[in-house]
Amino acid sequence: MVDPIKPSDIMRAKRSSLPDGVFEAFNEIIVEKWDGNYESYFLQSTIVKRLKEKFPDLSDDDFFKKGYLNVEEFYIEAGWKVVYDSPDYNETYPPSFKFIKKR
């Protein structure tokens, strides 16, 4: 018998649906792009490229469909301030992530 999911179980359920390689990729890029003091900033294309290295059988579209780029809440829970910036319909610039050390 299956019970309804509790709000307290959401993070654990979502986390278990993401392979470790997703967090490995983000962690590697965060470290590589760390400014030495306050933040790590990188373009979405940077993380997609790293994910392709870890999951060569998946396409860019697969990463979006599977939610592999939707990790902000996990890093927030781990103590980061996370800013994902993407253009609105009338703007053109590359989407980016910023991971900021909380003070």
pLDDT score at 4? 85
pTM: 0.89
Q: Spell out the per-residue pLDDT of the chain, length 103, in tens.
A: 888 888 888 878 777 889 999 999 999 999 999 999 999 999 999 999 999 999 999 999 999 999 999 999 999 999 999 999 999 999 999 999 999 998 7
Output the CA torsion 88→93→47→72 (10° steps).
-30
pLDDT score at 43? 98
How many CA atoms does the CB half-sphere of 1 hold within 13 Å?
1
Nearest-5° angle of CA 97, CA 40, CA 35? Answer: 155
How far is residue 57's CA from residue 34's CA, in Å, rounded to a whole number?
29
How many CA atoms does the CB half-sphere of 46 hold within 13 Å?
17
Size of the chain in residues: 103
How far is residue 77's CA from residue 63's CA, in Å, rounded to a whole number?
22
